Amino acid sequence: MDFWERLGFRENPYNTKPLNVNSKDVDLLMGRNEEQIKFLNAIDSSSDGVLVLSGVPGVGKTSFFNVQQYLLESGQAPFGPRLLSARQLCPVNPYDEPRLIAERCVQSLCKSIQIYCSITGASLPAETKKISEWINKRTTANYSLGLTVLGNGGSFGRQISVSTIKDTTYEGLVEVIEVMVSEVVSTFNFKGCFIALDNIENLQEDELGESLITFRDTLFSLDNVWWILIGQAGLNSLIETKDPRVSQRISASIDLKPITDGALKKAVDQRVDEFHSGQEKGSSPIPVTIYTKLFESSNGEIRFVFKYCHDICLNLVKKVRTQMQKMDNGWGEQLFNELMGNYFVKKEIGERNCNTLLKELITENFHGLNLSQEIKGVLKLIGEKKSVSVKDYKDFKSFGIKTQNEFLHNYLTQLKDKNLLLRKTEGKLVKYQLRGIALIALEQELL
Ligand SMILES: Nc1ncnc2c1ncn2[C@@H]1O[C@H](COP(=O)(O)OP(=O)(O)O)[C@@H](O)[C@H]1O
Ligand SMILES: [Mg+2]
C-alpha cells in the first residue's frame, strides 16, 4: 500500500503523470474548451496534416492531446473523424537524425496499434504483425521483410521489401509506416491515425529546420496521418522563422497557456473527490491559497504544483507521526491512518502550517542543488530582470562572464538543464526566465 492508499485514497490526487487515453481521464481535464474546438476543427478540416502543440513544460500538453485523442478514437468528440490514438508518443532527443526519428515513429505506431488491439480484443493485422516481429528481430543478418501496401479498399497494392530495421533507410522506414497506416484504415475502419513527436525542442535549431524539411515531402505527406509536433512555448513561431516550405505544411498551431486559477481549483476538487474512497464529499488537503500561489509563481506548471502539494502532505504526515511516537499514546498504525485520512479530506492543512512546510521543502531541495554563491547571484539577477537573452551577458560582468558564448553555455544552458530556467522562443529571439523552484527561491529570499 502506498502513502495515499493508507490515508483512504485510491490514487494520489496530486499525481503528476499526464492524463491518458482513456474514459476516466476525460473528466479530469479542466479549462480547455476553446483549445478543444480549435484542435478538433483543425483535425476535421483534412484527412491528414501537421499540428503544432506548444506550451511551457508541465502546462498540460500531453494531457490535452491524450484526452482529445480518446474522444476522437471512441467517437465521443462533439465532431471530427475517428482516428487511432498515438498511445506511445515518439520522443525526440538532441542530435537525432531524421532516420532515427523515423525508426522511432515505426516503433511508436506499431506499439499504438498493439495496445489498441489488446484493449479491444482485436487481433493484430497481418502486415503489422510481421512488422512487430521484424522490429524485435534486431540482429539477424539478411532478414528481409516483404510487405504489402494495401490499395484503396484493399483491392490492389504494391509490394515492398526491407532488411533489418537498423539497416533500413529513411525511405524504407517511411514505407513501413505507410503499410501500417493503410492497415489501420482498412482493418479497423478508422479514417487514419495520430503520430506524435514529443519534445521536439530538444533538436538544436539548425537540426530542427533540416529535419522538418526532410519530413515535409515524406512523412508529413503520408495519407491519413495526423502529425502532432509537441514542444516548447513559441515552437510555432520558431518553425515560421525556419523555412516557409515547412510552415506552409503546418495546418494549425495551438499554444497552450496555463489554465485559469478557477480551472485548477476544479481540477484539484475533482481529483480529490474521484480518488477518495470514502462516501462524503472531500476537499483538497492543501488549501487553495497555497496551490494557487504555487501555480502563479511557477508560470502555470501544474506538474510543479502537484509535486509540491504531494510533498507537503507527505512531510506533514511524517511530522505528525514523529510527534505521536513521542507522546506514546498507544495508537495503532491503523487508527493513525484513519484519523489522518479523515483529517486530509474533511479539513485542510492550515495555511500557516502549509507555508512553513513548503518553505522547508523548497529550502531543502534548493540547498540540495549545491549551487555556488556565484550561480545563485546569476539566478537572482535573472529573476530581478524577469527575463534575459544571451545578448544581456554584459550585465553579468560582475560574475566574471566575458562573452556571449560563455554566458550561454556555462550558465543559461546548464541552468536550463537543471530545470531552474525556462527557455522561451519569441520568433527568432530566445529568452530565459526563472522556473519552478528557482522562482520560489527568489521569493523566499534563498538566492
Ligand atoms: N487541463 C488540465 N486539467 C487538469 N489537470 C491537468 C490539465 N492539464 C494537465 N494536467 C495535469 O498536469 C500535470 C502535467 O501535465 P502534462 O500533460 O504532463 O504537461 P506537459 O505535457 O505540458 O508537460 C499532470 O499531472 C496532468 O494530469
Ligand atoms: Mg508532456
Q: Which of 271, 268, 277, 283 is nearest to 7 (CA)?
A: 277
- 343 closest CA partner among 278, 271, 267: 278
Alpha helix stretches (DSSP H) within 121-189:
126-136, 170-188
Percent of the chain at pLDDT above 70? 94
Cα–Cα distances in angstroms (integers) from residue 8 to residues 28, 108, 333, 337, in the given order:
20, 37, 13, 8
Q: Could you tell me the distance, in angstroms and rounded to a whole number, from the CA of residue 150 to the centre of ligand 2?
A: 34
> What per-residue confidence (pLDDT) applies to 162?
81
Residue 447: pLDDT band (50, 70, 90) is confident
Residue-level pLDDT at 148: 76
Angstrom distances, CA of residue 114 to CA of 67, 107, 119, 184, 250: 19, 10, 9, 11, 29
Q: Using CA atoms, how far apart are residues 277 and 399, in angstroms rounded to an integer? A: 54
Every domain of the chain and the residues it spans:
3-13+260-368, 32-255, 373-443
Is the domain spanning 32-255 CATH 3.40.50.300? The answer is: yes
Q: What is the CA radius of gyration of the chain?
A: 25
Out of 69, 274, 298, 302, mutate this one to test ligand 1's pocket (max ligand atoms within 8 Å of CB): namely 302
Structure confidence at residue 141 (pLDDT): 54
Q: Could you give the CA distance from residue 260 to residue 82 in angstroms, rounded to a whole number?
A: 30
Question: For the whole model, what pTM was predicted?
Answer: 0.91
Decide if pLDDT at 168 tops 60.
yes
- Which of the four pLDDT bands, split at 50, 70 and 90, describes residue 209? confident
Average pLDDT, the chain: 89
Residue of 435, 445, 446 lying closest to 386 (CA atoms) = 435
List, as one string, the DSSP characters of 391-447: GGGGGGGGGT---HHHIIIIIIHHHHHTTSEEEEEETTEEEEEE-HHHHHHHHTT--
Q: Is 77 helix (H, G, I), strand (E, B) or coil?
A: coil
Name the pLDDT band for 156 (thresholds 50, 70, 90).
low
Q: How far is the CA of 93 from the centre of ligand 2 (A)?
A: 14
- d(CA 350, CA 346) in angstroms, rounded, equals 12
More confident residue, 151 or 413: 413
Q: How many CB atoms lie within 10 A of CB 253?
A: 19
Give the per-residue pLDDT at 143: 62
pLDDT of 86 higher than 90: yes
Strand 83-84 to 192-198 pairing: parallel
Please report, for residues 10, 117, 306, 322, 334, the alpha-carbon distance to residue 316 in angstroms, rounded to integers and kept in the order given: 20, 44, 15, 10, 17
Cα(254) to ligand 2 centroid in Å equals: 14
The pLDDT value given to residue 203: 85
Q: What pLDDT is stored for residue 144 in this prediction? A: 67
**From CA 164, how far away is CA 39, in angstroms rounded?**
37
> Ligand 1 pocket test: which of 19, 22, 255 has the largest number of ligand atoms within 8 Å of its C-beta?
19
Smallest CA separation from ligand 1 atom 23, residue: 58
Q: How confident is the model at residue 331 (pLDDT cuts 50, 70, 90)?
A: low
Assigned C-alpha cell, 4: 495515499
Q: Which ligand is nearest to the CA of 255?
A: 1
379-431 pLDDT, tens digit each: 999 999 999 999 999 999 999 999 999 999 999 999 998 999 998 887 778 89
Question: Is pLDDT at 155 greater than 60 in this prediction?
Answer: no
∠ CA 89-90-95 to the nearest 5 degrees? 150
Predicted local distance difference test score (pLDDT) of residue 150: 72
The ligand with the least distance to the CA atom of 56 is 1
Average pLDDT over residues 98-120: 97
Q: Who has greater pLDDT, 80 or 344? A: 80
Highest mean pLDDT among 49-53, 143-147, 327-331: 49-53
Q: 268 or 153, which is more confident? A: 268
How far, in Å, is the centroid of ligand 2 from the Cα of 53?
10
Of 3, 30, 57, 1, which Cα lies nearest the Cα of 309?
3
Q: Report the amino acid identity of residue 337.
A: N
Lowest average pLDDT, out of 301-315, 354-368, 381-395, 415-429, goes to 415-429
Q: Are 55 and 61 in contact (CB under 8 A)?
A: yes
Question: Contact 316/357 with Cβ under 8 angstroms?
Answer: yes
The pLDDT value given to residue 149: 74
Q: What is the pLDDT of residue 139?
A: 52
Integer CA distances (angstroms), 401 to 17, 258, 374, 429, in order: 39, 34, 11, 21
- Residues lining ligand 1, judged by CB closer than 6 Å? 15-19, 28-32, 55, 57-63, 259, 267, 302-303, 306
Which CATH architecture does the domain made up of 373-443 adopt? Orthogonal Bundle (1.10)
Label residue 279 by pLDDT band (50, 70, 90). low
* φ/ψ (deg, to 5) at 206: -75, -35
Which listed ligand is nearest to 19 at the C-alpha? 1
Q: What is the mean pLDDT of residues 55-81?
A: 96
Compute the distance from residue 372 Cα to the ligand 2 centre, in Å. 31
Minimum-distance ligand to the CA of 307? 1
- The b/e string for 202-233 (b: 16+ C-beta within 10 A; e otherwise) is bbeeebbbbbbebbbebbbebebbbbbbbbbb
Beta bridge partners of 432: 388, 423
**Interval 243-277: pLDDT, tens:** 788 888 899 999 999 999 999 999 999 998 888 87
Distance CA 342, CA 261 (A): 26
Residue closest to 128 by CA, chosen among 144, 152, 106: 106
Across 127-147, b (16+ Cβ under 10 Å) vs e yields: bbbbbbebbeeeeeeeeebeb
DSSP 268-320: HHHHHHHHB-SSSPP--SS-HHHHHHHHHHTTT-HHHHHHHHHHHHHHHHHHH
pLDDT bucket at 140, cuts 50 / 70 / 90: low
Q: What is the mean pLDDT of residues 181-188?
A: 94
Q: Which of 301, 303, 307, 308 is the pocket-test mutation for ligand 1 (most atoms within 8 Å of CB)? A: 303
Task: Let me know: does 396 contact 410? Beta carbons within 8 Å.
Answer: no
